[in-house]
Amino acid sequence: MKLILDSEGKINYDNIDKNSTVKDLLDAIDLFLKNNQLPCDKCEESCCKKSWSVEMDNVCVNRLAEGDNKLANEFVKNKLVKKRNYYREFDQYVVNKDKECIFITDENLCTIYDKRPIICRLYICSAKSYRYNVIRELIGSTYLKALILEDEIRNNNTDNYEKNPVLFAKEYDILLEDIFDYAEEEGWLYEEDREELYIGV
Q: What is the pLDDT of residues 104-148, one digit of tens each?
A: 888 778 899 999 999 999 988 888 999 999 999 999 999 999 999
61 pLDDT above the threshold of 90: yes
DSSP 38: -
Question: Model confidence at 54, in pLDDT bands (50, 70, 90)?
Answer: confident
Measured CA to CA, the distance from residue 106 to residue 115 in angstroms comes to: 19
Calpha distance 175→170 (Å, rounded): 14
Q: Which of 189, 144, 185, 138 is nearest to 167 (CA)?
A: 144
Give the predicted TM-score (pTM) of the model.
0.90
pLDDT band at 47 (very low <50, low <70, confident <90, very high): low
CB 176 within 8 A of CB 122: no
Alpha-carbon separation of residue 23 from 30, 82, 94, 108, 174 (angstroms): 10, 27, 23, 25, 7
What is residue 123's predicted lDDT score, i.e. its pLDDT? Answer: 87
pLDDT at 90 over 60: yes
pLDDT of 24 higher than 60: yes
**Least confident span in 39-43, 72-76, 120-124:** 39-43
Distances, alpha carbon 89 to alpha carbons 84, 181, 200, in Å: 7, 18, 31
Residue (of 39, 35, 13) closest to 139 by Cα position = 13
| pLDDT for residue 50 | 65
Q: Which DSSP state fits 21?
A: B
- What share of the chain in percent tops pLDDT 70? 90
Torsion, CA 116, CA 119, CA 124, CA 126, rounded to 10:
-150
Give the residue-averaged pLDDT of 77-86: 92
Contact 111, 103 (CB under 8 A): yes
DSSP designation for 104: B
Question: How many CB atoms neighbour CB 168 within 10 A?
Answer: 16
Element (H, E) at 178: helix 176-186
Q: For a pLDDT cut of 90, what percent of the chain falls above it?
A: 54
Judged on CB neighbours under 10 Å (0-12, 13-18, 19+), 70 is exposed
